[in-house]
Structures are given as structure tokens and as C-alpha cells.
């Protein structure tokens, strides 16, 4: 393994705090309320306080701006702040921006959070009847749900690679079993292949259990520099590297108009990630792949280079893959735009997952692969 090309950075960013409020169908508070509590929890986990915070990044889709959150919490001055767009693609990029701010000495303690009342607050796709931009060629046709766009991709992948429905069913069942080991997971009921195959279609070929949950959740992460951890009691989780990518002709959710069908922006993230980290897929001891829908798992194993194109079903069936989505993920733990995957990636390095992988040195987390996206590697040691 060679050292990353950018190892000459001044400082290394580390994750020192994580916190999630209990996932539920109705969290019983506003998103800003949940977000604020999650941030305070993550700061407490780190042994830091609001007075230490000087940077904040959020999802564009976060209903509470950094300024509103900073006002609520009473933060004196944000030296760095910003937002990353594109729904579930924003998680790793937002954390990456926080790490960049720290590595460059532009901020010392940076908060990233996601609070979303996706269950009690209703479905975001129901309220937009005036379709502008990209949407004007999609929404009038009823192509309004994320599952609709994903179904068009999935049909193509199933056709091209010869996937049967069991390829997707095994993902749903695997993650349900992982969720059942995690008391924080929303879904605790066992699932059989008959349960999976017997569930109703939502957008063919995607069935009910191919789809993520609709969850209220609030989660936060606190990052600082490795040098700052000298006076903290927490065990730091090192941000080894990250990458973002769009690929050509990238839309939000749909990217099938005039480019190669079936390729996602993650295909463009992967080589950057391995170059930036100096690592390879086989160095990953555990992975958290963005999973709004089951097909994202086999496609991610392929596009991030864990196996060749078209090989994922056999690769996974033979158990050659590292453990994935060990908390149950978006399919069975909670769906909060993948921020729970980021927390689980950190827990795996800390050694505190409910399905702890062995001897974790490097832990991969990715964000939504069918939108502009990113990925990040957390590590146990400085790398």
C-alpha cells in the first residue's frame, strides 16, 4: 500500500463525537429540535462543548440552516460553513468538507448533522406540482418518487447482468438480520425470501422490501484535528481520505438521458477515493454502502472495485465481500439520508457496532450512488 498522494496535508481530521436520537415513526419534535439535541449529544460524546464549535456543514435538504442552528445553540462564530446538495449524495461530501476545513486549519471543531422527520413529516415528493428544470420532463409522467427512477436503473441492471429477484432479496434479508442484532434499528421482524418475494411491487421490478424505511431521525458528527485530541479522552477515528464525483451529464437521481446506461457517479468516485487514500477495496474491513434501495449494494460492490462488473451476485453469494451495512442500514435500521451509515462506519472503527467486524483498520462509507455523490474512509490509525 502506497501513501496517499496528498499525505503532505498540514493536519489530519478525526471524528471525535457521534450521536443519534432514537429512530422512530414520529420523533415528536421539530427537525431543528432533533438536530440541536443530536449535535449536543455528539459534542458530549467528544468531550467538547458548543463553545468549541467553529465550523458547520449540512445537507442542502436539511430544513435548518447552519445559521439558524448556530443561533439556537449559541455558537459565537462560525469560521467555516456550507451546504452540500443532492439528497442522499450529500452525507460523505458534507463530512469531507468538514475534514477539509480542519486539514487546512480553517476550523478546529466542525459539526455535521442530519435531522429529518421523513416519516411524520410526510413524503417530500407529493407537494410539487409545478415542475421546473429537469423535473418538467419527468414529473408530469408521475415519475415523482425516488423508487421510480431507481426502478428504471434496476430493470436495466437485471436485464444486463441476469439478476433474478433473489439477488435483491438476499440484500434485504441480510440487512434485516443485521438490524435484528441492533436494538436501535426500527425493523426487528425476521424476513424470509418468501416474505421478500411475496411483498407487493412498488415500481417493477422493485418490491416493498427493496425500498428503504421512512424514518424520523436526528444524527450528528463532530470532527476536529488529531492534534486537538491530545486533551480529549475520546479515541479518535481518523479521516484517511475521501472523494466526490458526478460523472458526465449528471442529474439528481436520474442520469440516463444520453450517457452510458447503468453507470452511476460512484464509478467516478471510486478511482479518486483509492488514489486519495492510497488504499484498495481489499483493505476495507467493513463497508457501509448507501442503500435507499437494494440494488445499490451489488452495484456499489462492483463500482467501488470490490469485484468486477456483473460479478457482485456471485461474489456476495460466496461470501467474499466484507461485512456491509452492519447496523441494518437504510433498509432496516433507519433511513436518514445515509447519515446512520456514517455513524456506523465510525462505530466499526471504535469497535462498538452491534455487528462488529474483526480487527477493523479501515471502514468505508459511501453516499447515494445514483446522485452526485462521495465516499469516505475512516481508519483506526493515522494513515
Partner 1 sequence: MSDPGLDFATSFPVPMPDADTQPFWDGCERGELLIQRCGYCKKWLWQPRPICSGCQTPDPVWTRVSGAGFVASWTVLRPPSLPAFAQKLPYVLLLVELDEGVRLIGFLVDDAGGWLQTDGEAEGIHMGTRMSLRFYDQAGTILPSWTVAS
Closer Cβ to partner 1, 46 or 206, answer by number: 206
Neighbour count for residue 187 (Cβ, 10 Å): 20
Cα four-point dihedral sign 32, 187, 352, 341: negative
Task: State the nearest-atom distance from the C-beta of 1 to partner 1, in Å.
Answer: 38
Neighbour count for residue 352 (Cβ, 10 Å): 12
Per CB under 8 A, the list member of 2, 194, 204, 231 interacting with partner 1 is: 204
C-alpha to C-alpha distance for 26 and 218, rounded to whole angstroms: 12
Q: Which span sits near partner 1 by CB under 8 A: 2-10, 12-20, 119-127, 281-289?
A: 119-127
Closer Cβ to partner 1, 203 or 360, answer by number: 203
Within residues 153-182, the interface with partner 1 by CB under 8 A covers 153, 155-156, 159
Nearest to residue 193, comparing CAs of 227, 150, 164?
A: 164
Neighbour count for residue 201 (Cβ, 10 Å): 11
Torsion of CA 183, 187, 193, 199, to 10 degrees: 180
Identify the three-state secondary structure at position 322: coil
Residue 49 sits in the site that holds partner 1 (CB under 8 A) = no
Cα four-point dihedral sign 153, 154, 155, 160: positive
Per CB under 8 A, the list member of 72, 73, 131, 226 interacting with partner 1 is: 131
Q: Which run of H or E residues covers position 333?
A: none
Task: State the nearest-atom distance from the C-beta of 172 to partner 1, in Å.
Answer: 18
Task: State the nearest-atom distance from the C-beta of 145 to partner 1, in Å.
Answer: 7
Task: State the nearest-atom distance from the C-beta of 249 to partner 1, in Å.
Answer: 7
Strands 373-379 and 362-366, by their bridges, are antiparallel
Q: Which span sits near partner 1 by CB under 8 A: 27-35, 51-59, 142-150, 231-239?
A: 142-150
Q: Which three cell numbers stand for residue 234?
A: 475520546
Residue 257 sits in the site that holds partner 1 (CB under 8 A) = yes
Residue 135 sits in the site that holds partner 1 (CB under 8 A) = yes
Closer Cβ to partner 1, 255 or 304, answer by number: 255
Residue 192 sits in the site that holds partner 1 (CB under 8 A) = no
Q: Which span sits near partner 1 by CB under 8 A: 31-39, 56-64, 234-242, 250-258?
A: 250-258
Per CB under 8 A, the list member of 138, 195, 214, 272 interacting with partner 1 is: 138
Closer Cβ to partner 1, 77 or 127, answer by number: 127
Closer Cβ to partner 1, 177 or 214, answer by number: 214
Residue 212 sits in the site that holds partner 1 (CB under 8 A) = no
Buried b / exposed e across 55-75, counting CB within 10 Å, b at 16+?
bbbbbebbebebeebbeebeb
Residue 128 sits in the site that holds partner 1 (CB under 8 A) = yes
Closer Cβ to partner 1, 28 or 140, answer by number: 140
C-alpha to C-alpha distance for 364 and 244, rounded to whole angstroms: 14
Task: State the nearest-atom distance from the C-beta of 328 to partner 1, in Å.
Answer: 24
Nearest to residue 16, comparing CAs of 239, 235, 227?
A: 235
- Asked if 278 contacts 7 with a C-beta cutoff of 8 angstroms, the reply is yes
Closer Cβ to partner 1, 74 or 142, answer by number: 142
Query: What does 70-83 look like in DSSP terms, one character per residue?
Result: HHHHT-S--SEEEE
* Number of residues in contact with partner 1 under rule CB under 8 A: 39
C-alpha to C-alpha distance for 1 and 192, rounded to whole angstroms: 41
Residues 6 or more apart in contact with residue 344 via CB below 8 angstroms: 288, 325, 326, 327, 329, 333, 353, 365
Residue 148 sits in the site that holds partner 1 (CB under 8 A) = yes
Q: Which residues are catalytic?
A: 290, 335
Residue 249 sits in the site that holds partner 1 (CB under 8 A) = yes
Kindly list the residues in this chain that would bind partner 1 in the complex (CB under 8 A).
123, 126-132, 134-145, 148, 151-153, 155-156, 159, 200-206, 249, 256-258, 261
Amino acid at each position: 500500500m502506497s501513501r496517499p498522494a496528498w499525505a503532505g496535508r498540514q493536519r489530519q481530521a478525526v471524528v471525535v463525537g457521534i450521536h443519534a436520537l432514537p429512530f422512530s415513526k414520529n420523533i415528536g419534535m421539530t427537525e431543528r429540535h432533533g438536530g440541536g439535541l443530536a449535535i449536543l449529544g455528539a459534542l458530549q460524546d467528544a468531550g467538547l462543548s458548543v463553545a468549541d464549535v467553529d465550523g458547520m456543514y449540512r445537507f442542502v435538504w436539511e430544513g435548518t440552516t447552519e445559521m439558524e442552528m448556530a443561533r439556537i445553540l449559541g455558537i459565537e462564530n462560525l469560521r467555516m460553513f456550507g451546504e452540500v446538495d443532492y439528497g442522499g449524495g450529500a452525507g460523505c461530501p458534507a463530512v469531507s468538507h468538514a475534514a477539509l476545513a480542519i486539514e487546512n486549519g480553517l476550523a478546529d471543531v466542525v459539526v455535521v448533522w442530519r435531522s429529518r422527520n421523513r416519516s411524520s413529516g410526510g413524503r417530500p415528493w407529493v407537494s410539487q406540482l409545478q415542475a421546473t428544470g429537469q423535473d418538467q420532463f419527468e414529473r408530469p409522467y408521475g415519475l415523482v418518487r425516488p423508487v421510480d427512477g431507481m426502478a428504471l436503473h434496476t430493470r436495466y441492471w437485471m436485464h444486463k447482468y441476469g439478476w433474478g429477484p433473489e439477488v435483491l432479496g438476499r440484500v434485504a434479508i441480510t440487512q434485516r438480520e443485521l438490524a435484528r442484532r441492533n436494538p436501535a434499528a426500527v425493523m426487528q421482524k425476521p424476513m424470509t425470501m418468501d416474505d421478500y418475494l411475496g411483498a407487493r411491487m412498488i415500481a417493477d421490478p422493485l418490491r416493498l422490501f427493496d425500498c428503504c424505511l421512512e424514518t424520523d431521525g436526528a444524527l450528528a458528527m463532530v470532527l476536529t484535528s488529531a492534534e486537538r485530541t491530545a486533551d480529549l479522552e475520546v479515541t479518535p477515528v481518523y479521516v484517511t481520505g475521501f472523494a466526490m464525483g458526478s460523472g458526465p451529464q449528471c442529474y439528481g437521481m436520474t442520469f440516463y438521458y444520453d450517457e452510458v446506461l447503468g453507470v452511476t457517479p460512484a464509478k467516478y468516485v471510486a478511482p479518486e477515493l483509492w488514489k486519495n487514500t492510497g488504499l484498495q477495496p481489499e483493505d476495507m474491513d467493513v463497508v457501509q454502502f448507501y442503500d435507499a434501495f437494494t440494488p445499490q449494494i451489488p452495484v456499489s460492490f462492483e463500482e467501488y472495485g470490490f469485484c468486477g462488473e456483473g460479478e457482485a451476485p456471485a461474489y456476495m453469494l460466496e461470501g467474499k465481500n466484507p461485512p456491509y451495512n452492519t447496523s441494518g442500514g437504510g433498509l432496516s435500521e433507519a433511513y436518514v439520508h445515509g447519515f446512520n451509515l456514517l455513524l456506523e462506519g465510525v462505530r466499526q472503527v471504535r469497535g462498538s457496532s452491534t455487528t462488529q467486524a474483526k480487527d477493523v483498520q479501515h471502514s468505508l462509507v459511501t453516499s447515494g450512488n445514483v446522485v452526485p455523490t462521495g465516499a469516505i474512509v475512516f481508519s483506526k490509525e493515522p494513515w
